Structure 1
């Protein structure tokens, strides 16, 4: 029987162009020590300080080693090495930005993504290939990241397909979106990625949760659709999942990381075991558009959103459904819709109404503990800035896209979250903006932690 997996720590690994050091954590699969002639695929992972354990007590971790252990033990994926690269906090520069930082950060955050790319390819990978028994070619070398790390994975991978053949991007930070704090304008958006439209020898995974606030599914789905149009074969070269109720945080990424591991390193193809039609079950003749999130679940644990479905509508005079899941309403009423994927069916009733606005109003207020020097603003939800309106109360009113979901804790600085009265971590607050909302909250206590000056904060500091 093979032995247990192990994690090897490499301290103070030097990056030449970045002129900094960081910790590298290397997961070695069960049997690595015993099978001395065997070589292994390698998956390089950004933000590695949270790959295997929390960065500090009370914070979250991916626990990707536990996912890999289980999948290997069950014979679902091949044995792999995972190289977790600790991130250097973006105080004056951000290693995950290649070409452009969001305008709000550009004055004080430099883009050092090209130097970080050099570090991984020229400093780290040669060392890993010398020290460990790797399969060094691109077909056996992957890169994984979430949020800004997903953006970095995208740029590094598409720029270096001769090095990385497998790219896993969870909730990639492709577009910065923001709300009007006065609730008058709609959504502001700023694109942060460069489009790559050539068909390259890459295997790609993209996903996004539907409770990530202003990390909107359409930002990721649009990239996937363009790559499919460029020749990537869906389900083979490229996979995509819109995950219900998943938020923008390590615990949620860790909860589903087994899915892209199966897609990239699975031993055998799975078979469709179930299909589900998710998302809103109504559509409107005027206003917002409805797109069905159809998810196929496989017997090996893989999940894929269906992008080119075989839909049948019981009453086609009420609506039609395009292969990409877009609902085309024709008149008010309701009808059953059935999707068939590899012989497995799912049916759901959909209703057509006259009108649904694209945006809804969310009014939020929160009471906080008394402070000698209260902050002028705090954050609640993804990008929701609440201003102090006297005493210990903060408030804001926002127009948000209908059906966006939010899971969050209030914060008043870099990872300085609210806590329970005894100082313990709180579960996330949550709401979905399916209609106009008036929300009232109370913060019991703030984490005791020094906060950087506002001009030195990055996007991640304010919202994660």
Structure 2
């Protein structure tokens, strides 16, 4: 049986950035069978996690997703080029010029140079070394978090080269969790380009990436002329955090959108709050359409029916407009499919809720001033971190407790622990215990 294969370039040199990095190349099963065949190319950032896991992160397992979709006849074969980041330079290289002049991360933004590195060094090498279809209509760029942001920027700046852009959980805004100040990290483009855009965000990313910012950019795309369900796909992922496992769980969707067929709708879901206030927090519905290919999307041009329209209006993009106190049912329609939920309208719904989070750590914990447990937790004393926080209502967090990148919690023997998760409600009290850390000697080895 023919199988896909990998090529590893250990020291790919960039004269533009004055550094070297690893590049991993996935070639499809038929690549060596027909020397006349040429292939579309997907370029991906954070390349060390595209196909493999390491001690600092899990894997997207993109090769597994591609192989399966191709074997099922749902997408065409492609070449995937995974460009590793350089740890100390990642944020700098993935950030273009800051529109507000903020130097939030204490770096000199090099996004424009990284863009030139892709355009003038990486892509020419790939196109001359491998049998690619080099045209923009066959070339995609995709990444997550800061990698999603740089994909968005390069896509709009170089739409003559990259015709398909995948921005998973794009890091558009850095939010100060203490002041809730929004510090935009990117220009928001208002000129329509010839692009196919996949943009998504998870509902349990906490302050890392917030849905309201990604949705704001999606709304600008629509106002610019992009058509949801056609040249733009948006997905608000339920029970999804900010990690490789979450992106791996849905990478098949942009792959189908860019290189295959999304199929026919077979099921719809309607997610949303149980209550909405006449005043206070604004709330939205999330209408998700599932297709027989496995593809899914959030419908931003939906059809809604309110049982008692005197109480509530719903816009086509799912925004709830409360008009009168009471209870009613909202039904979403897509083709022949429907989904419903019950909603109560109350006088006022506060935009925030109080949460108490405390984490106890083992005696082997290295000195640190704070932990991350969805929220940054200051030290109370040498083995206890936490405090009381005002957090946006209904915000969800999925995380492992950590002392920083690559320094997350494990069980007492050094094994991985499941991700923790909570959703903000009034008066929530959370008490966690860390048994060990991934970068510390497991308890069974301590003498």
**TM-score greater than 0.5 by the shorter chain:** yes
* Residues in 1 aligned to 2:165 and 2:193: alpha-carbon distance in whole angstroms: 12
Shift of residue 386 of structure 1?
Answer: 1.5
Q: Which string of whole-angstrom CA distances, capped at 9 and with x for unpartnered residues, describes residues 307-365 of structure 1?
A: 11111111112212111111122222222211111222222222222222111111111
Conserved? CA contact 1:212–1:405, under 8 Å: yes
User: For the Cα contact (< 8 Å) 2:354–2:425, is it kept in 1?
Assistant: no
CA RMSD of aligned residues (A): 2.0
Alpha carbons of structure 1 residues 421 and 262: separation in structure 2 relative to 1, 3 Å: same
Task: Give the unaligned 5+ runs of structure 1.
Answer: 451-464
The answer (yes or no) to whether the contact 2:228–2:301 under 8 Å persists in 1 is no
Tell me how far apart the structure 1 counterparts of residues 198 and 49 of structure 2 sit (CA, whole Å). Answer: 20
Displacement of 1:86 in angstroms is 0.7
Does the aligned pair in 2 maintain the 1:142–1:165 contact within 8 Å?
yes
1:412 aligns with 2:397: no
Three-state SS of the structure 1 residue aligned to 2:128 is helix
Q: What is residue 441 of structure 1 aligned with on the other side? A: 432
Question: Which stretch of structure 1 is more off in the superposition, 163-172 or 221-230?
Answer: 221-230
- Verify the 8 A CA contact 1:179 1:398 in the aligned structure 2: no
1:254-280 per-residue CA deviation (whole Å, 9 max, x = no partner) reads 1110011111111x4522111110121
Match of 2:78 among 68, 77, 80: 80
> Could you tell me how far apart the structure 2 residues matched to 1:107 and 1:149 are?
16
Query: 1:122 — aligned with what?
Result: 120
Q: Residues 45-194 of structure 1 correspond to what in structure 2 (within 5 A)?
A: 45-56=44-55, 59-90=57-88, 94-100=92-98, 106=104, 108-180=106-178, 185=179, 187-194=180-187
**Alpha-carbon separation, structure 1, partners of 2:174 and 2:100:** 7
Contact kept, 8 Å, 2:98 with 2:187, in 1: the verdict is: no
State the aligned residue count: 440
Aligned counterparts of 1:355 and 1:137: Cα–Cα separation in 2: 54
1:200 maps to 2:193: yes
Which residue of structure 2 lines up, in the alignment, with residue 255 of structure 1? 249
Pick aligned residue for 1:300 from 286, 293, 299: 293
Structure-1 residue corresponding to 2:326? 333
1:235 and 2:229 matched: yes
- Give me the whole-angstrom Cα distance separating, in 2, the residues matched to 1:102 and 1:96: 17
Sort the Cα spacing of 1:435 and 1:45 in 2 relative to 1 into closer, same or farther, 3 A: same
Deviation at 1:304, TM superposition (A): 1.1
Query: For 2:342, which of 337, 349, 356 is the aligned residue?
Result: 349
Secondary structure in 1 aligned to 2:94? coil
| TM-score, L = length of structure 2 | 0.94
Q: TM-score, normalised by structure 1?
A: 0.91
**Alignment match of 1:315 (pick from 287, 297, 308):** 308
SS state of the match for residue 88, structure 2? Answer: coil
Inter-CA distance 275–370: structure 2 relative to 1 (3 Å threshold): same
**Is the contact between residue 365 and residue 437 of structure 2 (CA under 8 Å) also seen in structure 1?**
no
Does the CA-based 8 Å contact 2:328-2:343 persist in structure 1? yes
Residues in 2 aligned to 1:363 and 1:434: alpha-carbon distance in whole angstroms: 10
